[in-house]
Structure 1
Amino acid sequence: MKKFLTLACATLLTPALAQAAFQLDSRYQDKDGDLIADIPSAESELIDPSTLIFAYTPVEDPSVYREVWSEFLAHLSDVTGKRVQFFPVQSNAAQIEAMRAGRLHIAGFNTGSNPLAVACAGYRPFTMMAAADGSFGYEMEILSYPGSGIDAVEDIRGKEMAFTSQTSNSGFKAPSAILKADYNMVAGEDFEPVFSGKHDNSILGVANQDYQAAAVANSVLNRMLRRDVVSEDQLVSLYKSQTFPTTS
């Protein structure tokens, strides 16, 4: 039988969650063993909101995505016959809590938040974002800036490195695991971790030399480069991971 993750959902907002194991919260059942919450069988436990609320994972300024998702929201309204509203969440934890509380009905959760959303909010992922040609995914990159004194990942030892949030795969979970396994470096012991809150904050922080190094999703980096928010000559890539699945 597959081993599922266990988590006390009360730890959602604490750094300890990054090291926790996960299981479905006690409010949910998984009788069919598919590792996600079952749809309630009792009609009294189902809701039929007049307005559907949608939120996309807050990897950048939420206002960037209101227009990006407008065609999808119009389509969703057409097929459901309901009003659909975009909800600009400011953090992964806020997005999960909104769904847990019933204030958020449909969402795109980032890679790292998926197990937390499933366990704590009853989230039922059914698809993954992809391009029209079927390609999907992103890589985690560790960035620094020219002249930082960090020319390789090993040079981060004894210095400061920015993460985004503990719920982020590319912004915390993946780089933490890679730094420990491949470079024998642990945050708080071998380098000083700081948290920026979002990928664009980390990228801008490195570009403006506020952070010596940062771990980010290069999907966000590439969008910022295309929009000329930052330029390639401001950044140095020290590490690029394998491709990870993206938002569900």
Structure 2
Amino acid sequence: MTTPLPLLRHAVAGAIVLAAGTAFAQDNCPNRGDLDAQFCDADRDLVADTPTDPKRLRNPSTLVFAFTPVEDPAIYEKLFRPFMGHLSSCVDRKVVFFPVQSNAAQIEAMRSGRLHIAAFSPGPVNFAVNLAGAVPFAIRGNEQGSVGMNLKMIVRSESAYQKLDDLKGKRIAHTSPSSNSGNLAPRALFPALGLTPDKDYKVVYSGKHDQSILGVKAGDYDAAPVASDVLQHMTDRGVVKPDEFRVLYTSGKFPTDAYAYAYNLEPALQAKIKQCFYDYKIPAEMAKGLGGDRFLPITYKKDWELVRTVAASAGELFTREAFDKAAAKK
């Protein structure tokens, strides 16, 4: 497939940014933490600092936005259409929706400079921050606070499985290696419940939460740990019925996707993007499809602490080597 000219231009610009980042890695950065070598975290807030060199800042005439690939991107492109119009008017420039098919592709797009704003799933947020320079700044919420989700272990309602222990020796779909609720949380939480992934059951990666859900429905998998919000969205749209599944386990609350901008956008543009998100009143149709009626401020250091803790307890590292290894598993 031929690459569209605008995206090719973004890719070229991204290569230039990465080359500049390599040189930056050789400077006197006082703290880098877990960030990739091209970034610096002098203020120790766990995200990449905005470059101080004006030549490394970006102010694109067209902003590219992508939503986390939990389901068919076309569904979310339609849901986000009103917001795309608002954001375009608010930042006074064109904003386009960029459909991505995997977490790895989304992270690489921001890392290469082709993606400027994105909603990342809870688990991949960590890779996006460390490897792509993503700076999380917002989450969906309502007047009670942020909208959360739970890990649910689902089986077909007519199956014989009544408890987690019944799944020993079975074929269970995890979503992707970097997913929080679809992989990392099960690996961190299930062993204490007597069910250790890859030891007590065979892990098969489905790729996405919707594919895990549909796979359980079709009988391709015996069970699947999935995100409660994706399951609810698919139920609301009539893709699946609530009585088709039995839930054997429900975790505590995790954050939903984080909205982030690329670290090297000009500071004034960063501030404008945040204002545009925070000022937006999510319309009813979009709220029904996503959850939450507004965007609330967050920081990666504070609001993603639980996700990082779960990942660490599952033995996950958010490095380039781990990212490539996870991508190779799919």
Do they superpose with TM above 0.5?
yes
The within-5 A match list for 1:9-24 is 23-24=34-35
1:197 is displaced (CA, Å) by: 0.5
2:219 corresponds to which residue? 209
Counterpart Cα distance in 2 of 1:167 and 1:71:
30
1:198 is displaced (CA, Å) by: 0.6
1:180 corresponds to which residue? 191
Counterpart Cα distance in 2 of 1:27 and 1:84:
27
Counterpart Cα distance in 2 of 1:141 and 1:57:
19
Counterpart Cα distance in 1 of 2:249 and 2:196:
17
The within-5 A match list for 1:8-47 is 23-47=34-58
Counterpart Cα distance in 2 of 1:33 and 1:134:
26
Provide the aligned C-alpha RMSD in A: 1.3
Confirm or deny that 1:239 pairs with 2:222: no
1:33 is displaced (CA, Å) by: 0.9
1:242 aligns to what SS in structure 2? coil
Distance verdict in 2 for CA 1:170–1:30, change over 3 Å: same
Q: Structure 1 or 2: larger helix share?
A: 2
Superposition TM-score, scaled by structure 2 size: 0.66
Counterpart Cα distance in 1 of 2:208 and 2:70:
6
Residues 139 and 146, structure 2, Cα contact 8 Å, conserved in 1:
no
Residues 47 and 129, structure 2, Cα contact 8 Å, conserved in 1:
yes
Counterpart Cα distance in 2 of 1:137 and 1:115:
17
1:204 aligns to what SS in structure 2? helix
Aligned residues with identical type, % of pairs: 47
Per-residue CA deviations over 1:211-241 (Å, capped at 9, x if unaligned) read 1000100101011111111112211110011
Confirm or deny that 1:108 pairs with 2:111: no
Superposition TM-score, scaled by structure 1 size: 0.88
1:69 corresponds to which residue? 80
1:66 is displaced (CA, Å) by: 0.6
1:135 is displaced (CA, Å) by: 4.7
Report the count of equivalent residues. Answer: 226
Counterpart Cα distance in 2 of 1:162 and 1:118:
26
Q: Specify every segment of 5 or more residues in structure 1 that has no aligned partner in the other structure, as ranges.
A: 1-21
Confirm or deny that 1:136 pairs with 2:147: yes
Counterpart Cα distance in 2 of 1:162 and 1:155:
15
1:128 is displaced (CA, Å) by: 1.2
1:93 aligns to what SS in structure 2? helix
